[in-house]
Structure 1
Amino acid sequence: MAGVKVVVPGDAIDAAAATVVRLGPGLVQAGGRTQATAAGVLHSDGEQWWVVTNRRRYVAAEGEPVVGVVVARHGEGYRVDIGAAHDALLPLLAFEGATKRNKPSLALGTVVYARVVVANSFMDPEIECYNSNTGKSEGYGELAGGFMFKCSLGLARRLIASRAPVLAALGAELPFEIAIGVNGRVWVCADGPEKTVLVANAIRNSEYLDAAQCKQMVRELLDR
C-alpha cells in the first residue's frame, strides 16, 4: 500500500473488490462497501487489509497467528487464553500428525503458538497448532522454555508485517528464536536467560525508534 492512511470509524476504504482477499481487524464489508470500524492506520500486504490500532484487548480474526497460554482442559481439547474477550478452544487433534491414539498432552500454563481458524460473534474463537490447509506445523505448536511477554497490538503487527529494524539489529548480534502473536504477545528464547531478557527488553523499547536508534539501543544493551 502506497503511503500511510489514517482512518476513523465510518471511513470508506478505496480498494477494488478483486484485490481484497480478506478483511482483518478494524474493517467490515456491508452492501458491497468496505469501511473502517476503528481508528488507526490502514495496512495491506496484498492479500489482507486491516487497521492497526493500539487498543488493549485483542479481537480474534481468522488466519492470524497468536501466542496463548493453556488455562484449562476438557474432553474435547484445551481452553487457551489469547488475550481476547473469551478463551479460545484448542481441539486435541489440532496438531500436526495428531490422531485419537497419538495426541499431545499439554500441562496448564503451557505456552503455545497457534493460528485462529474460527472467529465470529456467535461462538468462542477456535485455534490450531498447525496449518490445516497444508497439514504442516509451520512453526506452530508448544513453545518450551524461553520467555513470553506482552507488547502493544500495534507493535506486534509491525513486527510481523515487515522486517522490523529491532529484529534485524538483534539478529546481527546474537542468535535467538521468536514467535510473535498479533494478540500482543511475544515469545523469545536465546542462549541463556540474560540474553533472552535482553532480546525481550530490546523489542519492548523499540516501539517508537527508527532503524538507527534500534541499532544503537541494541548495542548499548549488549555493552551493559
Structure 2
Amino acid sequence: MNIERQINEFVLPGDTIALSSLPSPLDSSNSVTLGPGLHYDKHTGAFTSHSCGHIREPSSLIYYIDGHRPAVSSLTSGDLVLGIVVRRQLESLLVDIGYNELASLSLYDFEGATKRTKPNVDRGDIIYGRLKIDGECQPQIICINEDGKADGMGILSEHGYVFDIPVDVANDLIEHNNLLEELGNEMPYEIAIGANGRVWVKATTTRTMIALRKVLLERAKNKMDINQLKTLFAQSLVS
C-alpha cells in the first residue's frame, strides 16, 4: 500500500503506516516530519500510529494523526500518567500517553522485574506510571519508586474502564481527592488518575463505573459541588 492510499485513512494505535518508501526522519536532508500520533522506529524502519484518527499531510513530507487528544503539553517530570501499550520490544515497551511522542518503559522498571522474570505485558494493556522527561530525549515512564516498590504503579487490571477528562480537572482531582473519598463511602471502587487527563476505574459492577464517569464528566462541565455530585452518583446507580 503506498502513501497516497494511506492519506486520510482512519488508523488505530499500533497500525503500521506505509511511509517506508520516504526518507527516514533520521536523515537530515529532505527528511519526513512526524507530528502528533506518529512514531518512527529506527530499528525496524517502520512508521506506526499511536493514536486513533485520520492520517493527514498538510504539506510535503509532513504527517500527523488528526484525532482527539488531550492537551498534555504541560506534563512535567514526576507526573503520574496513564498510558496504553502500543508495542512490546525485547526489553522495553512503547506507551501512548497522549503526548506528541510515544513514551518508553523499560521492562526492568517494574517491581520485582529481572532478566528471568519480566512482567507479562503486551499491546493494549493499561500502564500507570511516573513520567520522566529529559530535554529533547524521548519521554520515559517508570513503575517503581526510589525503593524499587510499585507504590500503586504498574499494569492495571483489564477489567477496569478507561476514559478521558479535561487535564485541569484531572490535576485538581489528584491534588484534592475529597470528592473521590466521598464517593468511595457510597460505593467501593478503585481509581487511578493521570495528569494526562486519563482515568481508570474498577468496581464490582459496570453500573458503578459508568456512574463514576458520569460524575467526573459532569464536574468538568458544570462545577457542581460535592453534595450535588454525590446525589448524581446515587441517582446514576439506580437509574
For normalisation by structure 2, the TM-score amounts to: 0.66
1:31-75 deviation line (CA, Å, top 9, x unaligned) = xxxxxxxxxxxxxxxxxxxxxxxx932133111110100001223
Higher alpha-carbon Rg? 2
C-alpha distance in 1, partners of 2:232/2:181?
12
SS where residue 182 of structure 1 aligns? coil
The residue aligned with 2:154 is 141
1:99-157 deviation line (CA, Å, top 9, x unaligned) = 111111212100011111x20341110001121x1211100011111101000000100
Unaligned runs of 5+ in 2: 1-68
Task: State the 4+ residue runs in structure 1 displaced beyond 2 angstroms.
Answer: none
Unaligned runs of 5+ in 1: 1-54
Matching residue's letter, 2:214: N
The residue aligned with 1:38 is none
1:64 to 57, 66, 79: 79
The residue aligned with 1:168 is 181
Give the total of aligned pairs. 167
C-alpha distance in 2, partners of 1:171/1:77?
35
C-alpha distance in 1, partners of 2:91/2:181?
41
2:139 to 125, 140, 158: 125
The residue aligned with 1:21 is none
Check whether the contact 2:70–2:98 (CA below 8 A) recurs between aligned residues: no
C-alpha distance in 2, partners of 1:92/1:212?
43
Alignment of 1:173-192 (within 5 A): 173-192=186-205
The residue aligned with 2:30 is none
Check whether the contact 1:169–1:214 (CA below 8 A) recurs between aligned residues: no
SS where residue 112 of structure 1 aligns? strand
**1:197 has 2:197 as partner:** no
The residue aligned with 2:65 is none
* Aligned residues with identical type, % of pairs: 37
For normalisation by structure 1, the TM-score amounts to: 0.70
Matching residue's letter, 1:97: G
SS where residue 77 of structure 2 aligns? coil
Cα RMSD after superposing both structures: 1.6
**1:103 has 2:118 as partner:** yes
C-alpha distance in 2, partners of 1:56/1:97?
32
C-alpha distance in 1, partners of 2:227/2:217?
16
Check whether the contact 1:158–1:164 (CA below 8 A) recurs between aligned residues: no
C-alpha distance in 1, partners of 2:70/2:126?
20
